[in-house]
Structure 1
Amino acid sequence: MKNLRTYISICVLIIGLSITSCKEAKGESKVVQEDPKASIIVPENLKWSERMLMSEIERFPDATKLDFVDKPRWSYTNGLVLSAAIKVYEETKKQEYYDYIYAYADDLIDSTGTIKTYSLEDQNLDMIKSGDVLLYLYDKTKEERFLKAMQILSSQMDSQPRTSDGGFWHKKRYPYQMWLDGLYMAEPFHAHYTNIFEKDAQEAKKIYDDILLQFDLIQKHSHDEKTGLLYHGWDESREQKWADKKTGTSPHFWSRAMGWYGMAMVDVLDFLPEDHPGRERIITYLNQFAEAVTKYQDSTGLWYQVLDQGDREGNYLEASGSSMFTYTFAKGVHKGYLPEKYMDIAEKAYSGILDNLISIEDNGVVNLNKVCGVAGLGGDPYRDGSYEYYVNEIIRPNDPKGTGPFILASLELNK
């Protein structure tokens, strides 16, 4: 009998523990069910510009590693996204955005103003772009190291090798070549830095004239009279395999190269003095650009990777170029450079991006899809600029060369 009572007691204890355990398990499950919003990282009630910036910070908590790199790097992609982040911060005044921007420069610039991973010897125009971040931070902090770093970047503009008629080589390793990309990478910083720091009026005018020369030369050498579009690159030497032996131009019109150029024009105009005679030339170029690009807008509102060959097999509606054109048109209208009709083009393009290229994860993180990961000319392995080359380069979501312009476009359209 005693053994029976012991056995019953043990059974009751086991059953009790099992019930308690089940209640606890159910309780844990109930917590998740009661608070599904606890996992939301990016709220949907914010503007698209802020939602994308929050998503970028979630993807790349360390701004020195933007663009899917493992080690901190000074590069144009960081400068592109952080320039957009500056505008979001100025609109929202949220400290975490400023901290994200500041940490980039704080990590990569030492007390002497030396920029980690940057080499003046490379004479690479891409590396100038992040100088825009320093212009902003120096104004806020007056930290001497940021000024010294900017002085180094400015000195590169003095020593950058040139074509025979004065055009900046895109990089030292790409001799005698001008690329559309380079106008955006260097000239807004070049103009802004001069605007702030060059006190000698004659010297400032000389620099502004030089900036205008870069736009004049790219129009002279890369502009196609038939389409109104501009070729990605021009080789003065005609030695590159991708260069036409008569004109020196690359074979195709790449949407992002055209996008860089459009953004270069609307951004450099922020810093060119109102009385500089070259302003009207750039505005003329911008209007020619807008007219040409609009002809190739797809019915979705988007643009193709190879702009003028939308009906060709393998081509696709690409996110970075589409975002850049949207920003260029919207800003151009807001600033009075472009007629009002281009705001309708920008609105249509932006709707096309939202309808066709944006996806949202369960936690609210926003993705921009169908971004060309990279495209260039020459190099090793050699990039021949062919149609097949452009449409077969890597396509990936959330490449910062797309997300940065998407934020800028969202801000201009106040969406």
Structure 2
Amino acid sequence: MLLTYFDSYAAAHSPYKGGAWCYEDGLIYQGLVALFEATSDQRFLDHAQRMACAQVDENGVLKGYTLTDFNIDNIQPGRAMLDLFRLTNDPRYMRAADTLIAQLKDHPRTKSGNYWHKKRYPWQVWLDGLNMGLTFQIQYGLTVENDALVEDALTQLARAIDVTRVAENGLYAHAYDEARTQSWADPITGQNAAHWARAIGWMSMALIDACEMVGLDRARAAGILGPTQDLMQRLIALQTSGNLWLQVIDSPDLSGNYEETSASAMFALSLMAAQRLGIMPSATSCADAGRVGETAFHELVERMIDPNRAKYGIGFGQMVWVAGLGGYNGRNRDGSAQYYTMEDIVEDDAKGVGPLMRATAEFLSHKQVLPSLGCRYQPLATKAYG
């Protein structure tokens, strides 16, 4: 039923921003490619190509895209472009990727060398951007055999870890303002005050993907393997009794806090991948990561699967629509814990569905038959994924 949900969702999907190039659509492209590679089901690759070709012409021109906006979010769909080029050899996809690497060549940077999140967010490093831009740069560099691009991205990842990490609790702030001028930024640390789960989800996927792409030895040398291991351990400790993670991840007593599914899908993916890749420092900790990731994945499936809704591509809910920092539409998004509980909650948003596609592919790619977890879950390989 879960694959039916994804098929129906993709068939009915309308471009997220009226057809303009955007990361939300890119998450769906990436998820569909992952499903195709895990299942060999041609319909998922067909969906990805149909949707992508509506936004990328034969010359690689991206619909509604302006390079000089210097928006790091716009880089994210480049991951799927590289994958589609590898799978189809259609040059439009590589031309699209070339356009995006051209943006990064001139993208403004902080004084310490990290990409600004956007031109309109100067001097700021957001956890979102680690997934949006740096993993693409690594993948592109490996594709064209330009190691300087890979090394630069790894250096930026390590630096972002340093400036966003909160020493008191081992978690990461949503964002860091090098200039210390934003109203949400602590004047000493430059960090915002609270720990938004989806921001940490973006980071966890970026770290896991980077470790997989460059290998564990290089990840260790670059200074990102240890922090990746530490973050996975923190995620294990912060999983709720309901097997998911909270919107404000470390604040169970916060009024209005809730179990949020988009971040939970990201964490399920990251923890299962950590087991598969042997990222954790011991066999026991790898098994723990995989067990927690699988338990979260099961919970997400169990909460959403209603055949009467899933067949129409609907039913994956309790996810925050969007959250940001600074002024927007007359509001001050102050980065506090209470702020993150006040944004709209939606169903079936691309920011949750794309990571759930990837989590499903991760599960299917290294679990032929789901073993009993000694709890209320039963093997779902036939029941849920047909």
* Residue from 323, 331, 346 that aligns with 2:293: 346
CA contact (8 A) 1:209 1:278 kept: no
What is the match of residue 106 of structure 1?
53
Identity score, percent: 32
> Please, which runs of 5 or more residues in structure 1 have no aligned partner?
1-43, 199-203
Alpha-carbon distance in 2 for matches of 1:141, 1:302: 37
What is the match of residue 14 of structure 1?
none
Q: Which amino acid aligns with 2:101?
A: S
What is the match of residue 4 of structure 2?
51
Q: Which amino acid aligns with 2:328?
A: D
SS in 1 for 2:241: coil
Alpha-carbon distance in 2 for matches of 1:362, 1:233: 37
RMSD (CA atoms): 1.9
Q: Which amino acid aligns with 2:203?
A: Y
Size of the aligned set, in residue pairs, is 357
Does 1:303 find its partner at 2:245?
Answer: yes
Q: 1:313 to 1:280 in 2, by over 3 A?
A: same
Instruction: Give the superposition deviation at 1:362.
Output: 5.2
* Residue from 306, 316, 325 that aligns with 1:368: 316
Instruction: Give the superposition deviation at 1:186.
Output: 1.2
Alignment of 1:8-407 (within 5 A): 44=1, 48=2, 50-60=3-13, 62=14, 65=15, 67=16, 69=17, 71-198=18-145, 204-272=146-214, 276=218, 278=220, 281-338=223-280, 339-361=286-308, 364-365=311-312, 366-381=314-329, 382-407=332-357
Q: Which amino acid aligns with 2:104?
A: M
Q: Output one character per residue of 1:340-381: Cα deviation in whole Å (capped at 9) or x when no partner.
A: 211111122123223445544257345111011001112423
Alpha-carbon distance in 1 for matches of 2:153, 2:220: 9
What is the match of residue 16 of structure 1?
none
Alpha-carbon distance in 2 for matches of 1:217, 1:188: 15
Q: Output one character per residue of 1:377-397: Cα deviation in whole Å (capped at 9) or x when no partner.
A: 124233211223211111001
Q: Output one character per residue of 1:80-124: Cα deviation in whole Å (capped at 9) or x when no partner.
A: 121111122223333332221112232212233211111110111
Q: 1:413 to 1:142 in 2, by over 3 A?
A: closer
Q: 1:92 to 1:352 in 2, by over 3 A?
A: closer
Alpha-carbon distance in 2 for matches of 1:220, 1:285: 10
What is the match of residue 29 of structure 1?
none
SS in 2 for 1:412: helix
Instruction: Give the superposition deviation at 1:239.
Output: 0.7
Alpha-carbon distance in 2 for matches of 1:285, 1:55: 38
SS in 2 for 1:270: helix
Q: 1:363 to 1:154 in 2, by over 3 A?
A: closer
Q: 1:358 to 1:247 in 2, by over 3 A?
A: farther
Give TM-score scaled by structure 1 length: 0.81
Q: 1:357 to 1:309 in 2, by over 3 A?
A: farther
Alpha-carbon distance in 2 for matches of 1:278, 1:209: 13
> Please, which runs of 5 or more residues in structure 2 have no aligned partner?
281-285, 365-380, 382-386
Alpha-carbon distance in 2 for matches of 1:349, 1:145: 38
Alpha-carbon distance in 1 for matches of 2:305, 2:80: 27
Alpha-carbon distance in 1 for matches of 2:20, 2:77: 11
Q: 1:395 to 1:359 in 2, by over 3 A?
A: farther
What is the match of residue 19 of structure 1?
none
Q: Which amino acid aligns with 1:55?
A: S
Q: 1:275 to 1:308 in 2, by over 3 A?
A: closer
Is 281-290 or 144-153 further displaced after alignment? 144-153
CA contact (8 A) 2:211 2:219 kept: no
